[in-house]
Structure formats: structure tokens, C-alpha cells
Amino acid sequence: MAISLRAKIIGQKREDQQVIIHKPDISESEKFPLNGLTYTKQRDYFKSGINICIGEGLVFSNGFECEITSKIPIQAGVGSSSAVMVNWLHFLSQMADTPVIWNAQKIGELAYKAEVLEFNEPGGMMDQYSTSMGHLLYLVFEPDISIKSLNPNLGTFVLGDSCEPKDTMSILQRCRDARIKIIQKLKGKNPDFNIHTNDDADISLLNDEDKDIFNGTIKNRDILRQTLPELGKEAPDPAWIGTRLTEHHAVLRDVLQVSTPKIEAMLDASLDAGALGGKINGSGGGGCMFAYAPKNAEIVAEAIEKVGGKSFIISSDNGTRIV
């Protein structure tokens, strides 16, 4: 779900071929020429965005200077880098010699290429498409990409930032690699095995840890299956949705072990304050959680603050746009 915390880019073309990016939120600036788009650091996203646009046929005869600001917590599991990348590509589409109008799904696709594929990273596609297209989406990536806008009236949530640093890439790598190995083992015994459809897999060949991870993955899959029909309603049951969020968090906490004591304190405080449910957000290991609080968001936000978190009252919002 795209939320009501936004990143913004303001800029204009230059007379020369320099690209200058000001990032006042972190007191940094970045500068490079358009003829110097070789990557010189890990996750060189601003250059990769330009390279992806050039690959799409865009031409840049002039450089540009811009300022990027964001209200989104950084490195906290709420898609801050994807929000910036999506907006960066949208901005670049207007800075080209011949501006283009890409639809939101196209921008999400290009952002995934620039952020994940270009650097062979373990992340998925959810953040890029959600940030680009906006509101609540149901995304299916196998065998083909299918995106359905749900947009039920869920009301308010409270995002809680633990302010704990997190190592997103290593957590994604660990969780992804563990499940890939399990699936490969099961396919070795049964080539027709499919994690999305198989309900009676023989897991006797797995060790106890792998069995826990497999069963947790199936539990998450089934929570999604149960929740989709409810989210398809014009007026979903808030208490029911909240319970599913908490059930999902239990798998992330107990099986994948990506929660932290502070995140647990924030979630417990939220539920005690009347939130209907909640879970850790993103890859985990720190960063943010969110609580579902359609009627008492201010009280829940205060409870999160009391245990040391930083709170943001949020709701579903539009995707990238030109203002």
C-alpha cells in the first residue's frame, strides 16, 4: 500500500551536462556528468535511473539540477529508496530532450530494473509498483505480472519508527535464500511442486528448521488467501483485517525471526492502546512497524511514542504524480 508520506523532487535543466542532486534531509549533494554514468559505488541509483531511461530511448543533451526531500523514514522498511527511484524516473521522463508520458505501471517496472536488476540485489518488486501506482494493490509475479487495485476504505494506520538501524540486504538475502533452497529440495523430490498451489507437500526430507520456515511460508500464503476476499469488499471488517495482520507478524517474529524487542514493545503498546492489529514492516531487523487504528490513531501514536518510537499517522495515498 502506498502511504501518505511522500518524497518530492524539484529541478530544472542546466546549460551544461552536469547532474547535480541536492539532498538537504541528509546534508549531502551528488554531482556527476552525463558522460560519466559508470557506477562508482554500491547501489549507484541516480546513475542507474538515467541508464535505464537511456535504454528506453530517452536522450539527455543537457544536465539538470534538483533537490530531493522526503518525509519517509530512511532505511526503515517503508520503501524510501523505491519512492525516490520512482520519482527520479518520473522526473527524468520530463527532463529528456523529448519528454515522455509513462503510465504508473511502466514507471514501477523501470524502477525495479534500476534498483534491483541493475545491481543484482535480492529485493522484490512490491515497493516500486506500490509507490508508482498508489493505494492498495494485490500483486502477482508468477508466471506473469498481474496487478489488481483493491482500494478498500481501511481508514488510518499508525507507522512507528523504532529508529533502530537495519541491514535490509542481508536480511532479504537470508530469508530469500533459505526459502529458495527449501523449494529446490522439494522440487528435487517432486518436480511438479509449486509453493503457490501445493497444499500437501511431503516435507519429510527437510530438517526441523527448514520445516518451520516452510510451514511459516505456507501460513503467510494462506493468510493472504483468506484476506483477499475481505479486502475486495466495499466495507471490509476492520477487526478481522487487524487480526490477520497480527497473525502475519507472529510468523515474521517466531519463524523468520526478523522482529526486535523494541518493535515488540511498540506493537504491544499499540494493541494495549486499542489498535486492531499490526506487524513489523519491510524486511525487519529494526526499522518500522505499523498498527491498524481506524478509530483511535492519535491514542495509538502516543502509545508508540511513550515506548521510544517515532509515530506517523498515515493512510492510503496516490502514487507518483507531477504537481
Model confidence at 270: pLDDT above 90: yes
- Cβ-in-10-Å burial (0-12, 13-18, 19+) of 5 comes to middle
CA dihedral (64, 8, 245, 212) in degrees, to 10, reads 20
**Mean pLDDT calculated for residue range 253-263:** 91
Q: What pLDDT shows up at residue 252?
A: 92
pLDDT tens string 184-199: 888 888 888 888 877 7
| Nearby residues of 201 by Cβ (< 8 Å), 6 or more positions away | 186, 190, 193, 214
The mean predicted confidence, pLDDT, of the chain is 92
pLDDT category of residue 204 using cuts at 50, 70 and 90: confident
pLDDT number for residue 108: 96
Domain extent listing, the chain: 7-149, 157-314
pLDDT of residue 173: 65
The whole-model pTM stands at: 0.89
> What's the CATH class of domain 7-149?
alpha beta
How confident is the model at residue 279, as a pLDDT?
97
- Nearest 5°: the CA angle 304, 306, 312 is 35
Distances (CA, A) of 102 to 63, 84, 182: 21, 17, 39
- Is a pLDDT exceeding 90 seen at residue 282? no
Which one has a higher pLDDT value, 201 or 322?
322
Position 92 pLDDT exceeds 70:
yes
The residue type at 23: K
pLDDT of residue 169: 63
* Mean pLDDT of the region 253-269: 94
CATH numeric code, 157-314: 3.30.70.890
Residue 198: per-residue pLDDT: 75
What tens digit of pLDDT does each residue of 100-135 get? 999 999 999 999 999 999 998 877 889 999 999 999
Residues 6+ away with beta carbon under 8 Å from 202: 186, 189, 190
pLDDT at 277: 98
pLDDT in tens, 17-56: 999 999 999 999 999 999 999 999 988 999 999 999 999 9
Q: What's the average model confidence in pLDDT over 279-300?
A: 93
pLDDT band for 249, please (50, 70, 90 cuts).
very high
Res 168 pLDDT > 70: no
